[in-house]
Each structure stands twice: as structure tokens, then as C-alpha cells.
A and B are shown apart, each in its own frame.
Chain A
């Protein structure tokens, strides 16, 4: 079995770390990572709990394939109740710490309670200790990373930490691991900071063994890697341009949300695209992109490592930002670029560095700033409130200044840190918040890609592209091309993608593999590693079980079918340009069918039959 069989339970209130056996019955039903940790969370907390109270719990979970040679098998997720949405949060991250936790001999770490004073968890194989974090409280993730490496005299420690944004209560603060990888969405970092937990530092040297059938596993993973290498997106597009390969593509199909989603195409997209990151800049002849980079075990290597032009106004006098670090991914480039109308690649890269340095979600930040800019334009936010900053669409300076303030929770950054929903409510225009269940939209305008409307509306963690990435079919033609402007068949597609993605996440694999892999490629890898029936059919059912469990949590937390909707702008205001010109998102044509396919009532409540069928 590829599970370690051990759960680390960290009671922060009492300062106690304990080893507990993994519930193997649950592991067989929920696989690992996202699914299994959701099961633990649902069993252990009251869904109505205040997310920032000690009664909330936070789980860092690996999957059975985390830490193995399966390509992309390095992922972990953070599962908790979100302070941004009040729904379940599950933020998935790559980098290296997930595999390190597994190598240290743990499937998951469950954090409970709240430490009386700031602490960090030091984990070296079976040795787990809570140590004082007073020296790093109030410091950035990057400073924390450096301090911990020096403190423990070990360059090989893998570190996940929260930055000042989380400490200051930014509701979309993430947990940053390995300097520039993020469990970024839904405010999981805010929960971590609320527990007075600054960081998790891990060194694991035990390794991952116990593969059920090692020979079959090596064979299956090798076959999988070949498929990824041969895939156009996974073998060429992603290594070369990263997720930024999408910038020009999405803009062309007219699904590039621009200026708080008032428009669906951005005139400056080319300047902030993956292609632009390869262009030598005039000042020093070097491109923005230094290299691509892989997460643990990943044979795709879509990650970007970038530099900012040293002469750029943002860092001219800040040599600490002259080195390379995690560069723009598509979501960040969109949120920090087209959604606020800024096409200055260096300014975007700088803002992205800040998001990593102090741990806050660039999607939510960019979207919130976009809403603030619209409110400013309407005269609802004044210069007196922004501390003199002119919040104009297209202003690179407004972007970088507000990013600095949000990173530290200062001035108007405090307001921006509340997220778009609360900001727009505060200024009396909730309709201008581009959110679902309180979480900001990612980079696909559902007027131009109809399936994404249903994806966003029904996502269990609020607006999210990673729950059912129908872009894959509707734009890229994977596994087969469908028309992005058509709604027929999209309900079934969204359901199928949601269930499959839940299974992929729960295995510890990266959802980007599905640009080349189907479950038929994945199932043999899981089946060779893990005891149990891991056929494609069972993986689909496991995914469906996980989806319904998440849904049950949300229902119990007080959400209803009424929350499965989109902002009025996307349902009423037609796209002005591009292939989708004149279209809105036809959510009402897809949602009832989706409920029906899910086996839910017309109010969106899972029926007893459905729950019985899934054993919930």
C-alpha cells in the first residue's frame, strides 16, 4: 500500500503532537489527500463553526501517489473551512513539501485548536515538535524560509509558511511552500495564521515504499510519462510557455475577463502572454523567463522562474528583488493584468513576487482590486480612502502599491484583503463583485465558455476553474472538442470532470496531467500502488462520493442551491466583442440538468437515493 498509515495530530492549544493510525476503511473509500481529508474534516468539525475559531481544524494531506515516481506525484492539499466563503476549502499545491511530509512517514497532518503564542511545527521523520515562532511572526514567507533553514542548519528542509497577509487577516491568504508554490485559494493561510501557526518545516528521510506491486507500478508510471511527453500540451505547450500558453488563446476565443469582467477581451494580452515572457527585453537583452521548473516528480515542468527588469520602477532601488523567483502563471497574469487592465509584464511579475513573498492569492487580490477600480471609477471609493492612490484601470502603479499594502495589511490594503464580496457590499454595490459563494473568479469568462459558468456556479469551494476544467474540451479539444458557446451536454461534462478531478486530486497527482491523461491512464498507476479496487469505474464513483461529501458539508454549513449562481453581470450583460459577442452565460439552461444528473433535488440537495448509492 502506498499510504504510510500514519496521521500526525497536532493539538496547538495543548502543544501536543501524536501519531494516530490512518483510518484505512476511509482510505479505501476516499483514496487520500482531498477526499480523505474532507472525510476527516466532516467527521471532526461542526460545519457551522467560525472558520477562524480554534474549533475549526486544518488538514495538510498527501495522496497515496505523493512521493512516488508517478509523474506529478508530489502534491498535497490543505483542507479546512474557508473564512472567505464559509464553505469547504481545499487548496492544492505542488512544490516539494508534500512529498517531504510523505517521506517523513505521514499521510496527513491535522492541526487542531490554537496555540497560545506563535509556533511552528518542526517535523523530522517521527520527531514532531512545536517550537516558538516569535522571531518570525510578523515576517514574510521568504524571510521565514531563510530563518528556518538557518535555525535548523539544514538547507534540505522543506517549508510551508504564512506571510504577513495571513497574520493581518487577509481573507484570501494562502500557504506558500518552497518559496513560490501555493495552497493559494479560499484563505487557508488565514486559517493557519488564526491558529498562531506560522510555518511547517519538514525533513523526511524514510522514503515511500510499500508499493503494492512495484513492477506493475514502474511499468504503469513509465507508460504514463510517455503519454505526457507525447501530448501536445503536456509535452510542449506547458514546458515552453507554462499555463501562460493560454493567454493569447483565451483572449482570442473572447473569454478573457477584462476590467472587472466588463469586457471579454484584453487589448494588452499579447504583452503579458507566455510568448512575451520569452522575448528579450530592451534594457538588458534578457527575457523575463529564466527557466521552466518542475514540482516534485513532475515530468511536465510548467513552472516559471522569472526575473524583473532591474531598471523597472518597482525594484530599481530594491536589489532584494533582482534575483529570479516564481514567475507568472496564467491565473496570476490574468488577475494582475487584464482584469485590472494592466499590460506591464514587469509590474505583474513584481506583484506576483509579492503574492508569494507574503502569501496571498493573486486571483482574489486582482479581482478585488478590479472591483475596487470600478467602484473608484464610479466615485464610490474616494482618494481619501485609498491613501491617495488613484485606482484607475490600467495603472501599474496602483497595482504594485496596493499589492505592497495588501501584503502587509496596511492602509487600503486592509480593505482589499477582505475580498471582492465584502468590499463591494461595504460600498453598496454587491452586484459588482465577480464572485461565487464569496470567492473570486478565475481567468475564463463564462460568457465565452459556457461550461465554465456551470463549473463556477457549482464549485464546492466557490468560483474555481480547477474543479471541472471544461476549457480543456471547449477550447483545447481535450479529450474531444466541444463548442464553447453551446450549453447542450455541458451539464454532463461538468459532472464528469468534477468527479474525475476529485479522484485525480485525491491520488496526489496534478490535474494538469489530464491534458494528456484520462482516468484510463491514471487508474493502473493507482491500482498498482494501492490495495483495493481502483478501476476507472471505482475512481469515478470515489470522485462522485467526494463531491457529494463536500456538498453535504456546505449544506450543513448553511449554503443552499441558491448559492449555485453567477454574478448578474455574467447572466445579463452580453459580451461586447469576440466570438461570444452578444452572449451571456446561460446558466439556467444547464443547472437543472446538472442537479438531475447528480441525483440532487431541484433545490440542489443530494437525494437520499444518491447518498445511499454512494454510501454517505
Chain B
């Protein structure tokens, strides 16, 4: 069996490794379009703050990992797909055959249609090359404007702030991390940043970027004011990498449409990760989640189906995120924005930057948002994904949502009274 995987991000690498485990004989080729060994974009901010060296971003740390797993790495950029012929063609003109194909081409930063976006000095933070570029330019005292306070914007915010640069954040929505945090949480994160000397403009659009005077760039805001900048980091969202597949006959919406086996409408073609529009556990709809755990799940399930001898059905991934914004840790899970006809429990302590919001449908947890929670935070996922009926613990959580770990344990662990144990001779 000849497996071809396009994309050397987490989904592609995990799929390749899973395939190797399931099929020791198969030929596995992993195509990536960046010169470095497969690395993690999640780790780039930590590279930026020099917490880790460059090889610390690599997905696999063992030397020769891919050789030893007999996974062939190939540098190349896919140009087109010919599903009828079971081939793909690369930029170079080379054509490659496959028995099974996995598309795991990931996503790319979205560049908003703003005049001046093509000026030098405006960079996304998406590749290792970008990261090196930013690290070089974000010098102490440099004026840096961060476009977009979404997940990626916030995750690199610390790196930019710690570089000693004079940082301004511009976000067009009314709060920070609007796709992950509700109004209260998003505004607490904003306040947190303001308290740490980062200027944050929310509900503010960038009208245009032009060449500046004293500083190379000038940002024109819809409020009428302007910002001078030495460096502009663009973090205004990502889009699936689907451009290669125009005209191939593969069904595409926001991303590549897949079924619960991770299979596309084309025979023997699968998709996984940021490029795939997969099943969302909470909504039952198919959507692009573009998050690491989902990519890992997709990669595994796709590989199991590609190998053929197991049939793996995706139950849907939970949309969830965890974020560290200048030391303030936030997370959100599932239907954090709530459910029609559902109920919410909330703890809001702005002075201490603590927040917890639980969203219920009847006595089941459907979504959650937290600020400042680092212990046992995963049970929020566990409770959502297991669909445990919380019974009497629902009302306890309505009173005090912080008891979520207890609620989880009370509903998953055997209840024992030890008075009997005390009297048993074995003790």
C-alpha cells in the first residue's frame, strides 16, 4: 500500500506514524513545503521568547525519527490533484502516485483586504521564517502594532511585549479573543493587558497602512487617529489551504468536506486537520476548527481508515482552546457561548481576573469558559464529551461553578462509605 500525505504538520505526522504502526509494510511519504523538519506552529511563540531553541519547535525530537519509522519526507509544494488517476502533481512538475491520499495541508494566515497590506514590515506569525523575522525586528523600544487580538495574536503578544517593544494591539471586535471568549472574559483579558502597559484598541478597524515618516509604517484607524510602527504583525485569522484543489472535483466549503471516516467525496482521498471541515462534537455540524487536538484526532482516525483493517468513526471533536496572555490563562470549550433554552452558571471576579462560566443543557455540561483556572481544567472537556448527567450536582454547580472537579468525580467514581471497611479484619 502506498500512502501519500500532503502536509507535515501535526495531522500529517500523526497520521504517518499511525499508519506505520498499523501497517509495517506500507510505503509512506510525507510532503512538506518548508525546509525545516516538521515543526509545531504552537511552539513558535516560545521560540520567539527564546524559551526554546529552534529544534525545540520540532514535532519529533529523536534524530532520524522519520527515517527510522521509514516515513519518507519530501520537500515540495502540491500544485494539483488528479483523483481519477490517483496522482498528485507538484510545483516542480513531478507527479506522484498514491493508493491512499491524506490531505493535511493546514491553513494559512488570512490577509485582510486593507490598502497597504503588501508593504514591507508587515508580517504574519505563521512560519519559523516569520518568527525569525519578527524576533529580529521587535527590538526594545521598537513600535510594534499587532493586528488582531485573536488566539494567535494573543499567544504572540507575550513574546512581543517581553521583547521590550512598544506594543499596540488593534482588534476590530469589541473584546479580545472574540472567537474564544465571551464579552466579560474577553474584556478582562483586555484589562489585564492594559494593566501591563500594552495599549489595546478594541472595536477599532484599520482603514489603511501607509509608509510613514519617522517610523517606516503608519496605521490609519477608523477612529481617525494614526499609529506609527516599525513592525506590524498581522494575526487576523487563518483560512484552510484549499487553493490547490480547484477543479479537482473534491468537495470544498470552508475547508475540505469529509465524512466521519475523514474521507472526502473522492475515493481513497482523506483530509485531516486545519484543512478539513470535520464533525464538531457539540454542534453536530461540520466545521473547520483549526486547533491542535482536533488535528491530532483527525490524523489518527484518518490513518486508521486509510490502513483499512480497522474502521474508525469520528465522534466529533470538541472545539476548545487554551491561551496564556501575558500570564493570564484562559480556556474555552464546546458551546461556550451557550445553548438555546440552556442555563448558565457564572463566577465573575474582575478584581482577581477570575472567571468561570458553565453552559448547561438540562443537567449536562455543553460548554465552558475560564480565566485563571489551571488545575484539572481538562475535566471541562471530560464532562462535555462524556455527556454525563450531573443530577444533583447541576444545582451545586449553578451555585458554585468552581466545584466542577468535585462534580466530575461525584458522577464518575464509585461512592463508598468506609464505616464498613473500618470494621473489616483486613484493615
Q: Is B202 an interface residue (CB 8 A)?
A: no
Across the interface, which residues of A come within 8 angstroms of B372, CB to CB? 153
Per-position binary interface string of chain A over residues 140-155, scored 1 when its CB falls under 8 Å from any chain B CB and 0 otherwise: 0000001001111111
Q: Is B214 an interface residue (CB 8 A)?
A: no
In the assembled complex, the Cα of A153 lies from the Cα of B401 at a distance in Å of: 9
In the assembled complex, the Cα of A240 lies from the Cα of B419 at a distance in Å of: 8
Q: Is A245 an interface residue (CB 8 A)?
A: no
Q: Is B18 an interface residue (CB 8 A)?
A: no
Residue of A nearest to B354 (CB): A153
Per-position binary interface string of chain A over residues 264-305, scored 1 when its CB falls under 8 Å from any chain B CB and 0 otherwise: 000000000000001000000001011110000000000000
Is A153 touching B349 in the complex (CB atoms < 8 A)? Answer: yes
Q: Is A239 an interface residue (CB 8 A)?
A: yes
Residues of B347-374 contacting chain A, CB below 8 A: 347, 349, 352, 354, 356, 372
Is B400 touching A149 in the complex (CB atoms < 8 A)? Answer: yes
Which single member of B399, B406, B419 contacts A289 (CB below 8 Å)? B419
In the assembled complex, the Cα of A109 lies from the Cα of B241 at a distance in Å of: 61
Is A155 touching B417 in the complex (CB atoms < 8 A)? Answer: no
Min CB distance A61 to B, Å, is 29
Which single member of B399, B402, B418 contacts A154 (CB below 8 Å)? B402
Min CB distance B250 to A, Å, is 48
Across the interface, which residues of A come within 8 angstroms of B423, CB to CB? 240, 278
Is A150 touching B402 in the complex (CB atoms < 8 A)? Answer: yes
Q: Is B422 an interface residue (CB 8 A)?
A: yes
With A240-B422, A278-B419, A289-B419: A153-B406 Cβ-Cβ less than 8 Å: no
In the assembled complex, the Cα of A152 lies from the Cα of B349 at a distance in Å of: 8
Across the interface, which residues of B come within 8 angstroms of A278, CB to CB? 419, 423
Is A153 touching B419 in the complex (CB atoms < 8 A)? Answer: no
Per-position binary interface string of chain B over residues 411-427, scored 1 when its CB falls under 8 Å from any chain A CB and 0 otherwise: 00000011100110000
In the assembled complex, the Cα of A154 lies from the Cα of B399 at a distance in Å of: 13
Which single member of A149, A240, A292 contacts B402 (CB below 8 Å)? A149
Find the residue from A153, A287, A289, A292 having the highest chain B CB count within 10 A.
Answer: A153
Residue of A nearest to B375 (CB): A156
Find the residue from B352, B354, B419, B423 having the highest chain A CB count within 10 A.
Answer: B419
Across the interface, which residues of A come within 8 angstroms of B399, CB to CB? 150
With A150-B347, A153-B347, A153-B356: A291-B419 Cβ-Cβ less than 8 Å: yes
Is B418 touching A292 in the complex (CB atoms < 8 A)? Answer: yes
Q: Is B50 an interface residue (CB 8 A)?
A: no
Is B418 touching A291 in the complex (CB atoms < 8 A)? Answer: yes
Across the interface, which residues of B come within 8 angstroms of A290, CB to CB? 417, 419
In the assembled complex, the Cα of A150 lies from the Cα of B418 at a distance in Å of: 29
In the assembled complex, the Cα of A289 lies from the Cα of B418 at a distance in Å of: 9
Min CB distance B423 to A, Å, is 7
Is B418 touching A153 in the complex (CB atoms < 8 A)? Answer: no
Min CB distance B374 to A, Å, is 11
With A153-B352, A153-B354, A153-B356: A291-B400 Cβ-Cβ less than 8 Å: no
Is A152 touching B352 in the complex (CB atoms < 8 A)? Answer: yes
In the assembled complex, the Cα of A271 lies from the Cα of B262 at a distance in Å of: 68
Is A155 touching B422 in the complex (CB atoms < 8 A)? Answer: no
Min CB distance B410 to A, Å, is 13
With A240-B423, A291-B419, A292-B418: A155-B347 Cβ-Cβ less than 8 Å: no
Is A153 touching B402 in the complex (CB atoms < 8 A)? Answer: yes
Min CB distance B175 to A, Å, is 21
Residue of A nearest to B401 (CB): A153
Q: Is B55 an interface residue (CB 8 A)?
A: no
Residue of B nearest to A241 (CB): B422
Is A239 touching B422 in the complex (CB atoms < 8 A)? Answer: yes
Q: Is B311 an interface residue (CB 8 A)?
A: no
In the assembled complex, the Cα of A290 lies from the Cα of B415 at a distance in Å of: 12
Is A287 touching B419 in the complex (CB atoms < 8 A)? Answer: yes
Across the interface, which residues of B come within 8 angstroms of A154, CB to CB? 402
In the assembled complex, the Cα of A290 lies from the Cα of B421 at a distance in Å of: 11
In the assembled complex, the Cα of A154 lies from the Cα of B352 at a distance in Å of: 11
Min CB distance B254 to A, Å, is 37
Min CB distance B168 to A, Å, is 31
Across the interface, which residues of A come within 8 angstroms of B418, CB to CB? 291-292
Across the interface, which residues of B come within 8 angstroms of A155, CB to CB? 400, 402-403, 405-406
In the assembled complex, the Cα of A146 lies from the Cα of B418 at a distance in Å of: 26
Across the interface, which residues of A come within 8 angstroms of B419, CB to CB? 278, 287, 289-292
Residues of A148-206 contacting chain B, CB below 8 A: 149-155
Min CB distance B80 to A, Å, is 54
Across the interface, which residues of A come within 8 angstroms of B400, CB to CB? 146, 149-150, 155
Across the interface, which residues of B come within 8 angstroms of A240, CB to CB? 422-423
Min CB distance B284 to A, Å, is 32
Min CB distance A135 to B, Å, is 14
In the assembled complex, the Cα of A292 lies from the Cα of B420 at a distance in Å of: 11
Min CB distance B353 to A, Å, is 10
Min CB distance B256 to A, Å, is 42
Across the interface, which residues of B come within 8 angstroms of A239, CB to CB? 422
Find the residue from A146, A149, A290, A291 having the highest chain B CB count within 10 A.
Answer: A291
Residue of A nearest to B399 (CB): A150
In the assembled complex, the Cα of A155 lies from the Cα of B356 at a distance in Å of: 13
Residue of B nearest to A291 (CB): B418
Residue of B nearest to A156 (CB): B375
Across the interface, which residues of A come within 8 angstroms of B356, CB to CB? 153
Residues of B362-395 contacting chain A, CB below 8 A: 372
In the assembled complex, the Cα of A149 lies from the Cα of B349 at a distance in Å of: 12
In the assembled complex, the Cα of A155 lies from the Cα of B347 at a distance in Å of: 13
Is A292 touching B349 in the complex (CB atoms < 8 A)? Answer: no
Q: Which 7 A-B pairs have the closest CB atoms?
A: A291-B418, A153-B354, A153-B347, A153-B402, A289-B419, A150-B400, A155-B402
Contacts from A to B (Cβ < 8 Å): 146, 149-155, 239-240, 278, 287, 289-292
Contacts from B to A (Cβ < 8 Å): 347, 349, 352, 354, 356, 372, 399-400, 402-403, 405-406, 417-419, 422-423
29 intermolecular pairs with C-beta atoms under 8 Å apart: A146-B400, A149-B400, A149-B402, A150-B347, A150-B399, A150-B402, A152-B349, A152-B352, A153-B349, A153-B352, A153-B354, A153-B356, A154-B402, A155-B400, A155-B402, A155-B403, A155-B405, A155-B406, A239-B422, A240-B422, A278-B419, A287-B419, A289-B419, A290-B417, A291-B417, A291-B418, A291-B419, A292-B418, A292-B422
**15 extra interface residue pairs, beta carbon distance < 8 Å, beyond A153-B352, A290-B419:** A149-B400, A150-B399, A153-B347, A153-B349, A154-B402, A155-B405, A239-B422, A240-B422, A240-B423, A290-B417, A291-B417, A291-B419, A291-B422, A292-B419, A292-B422
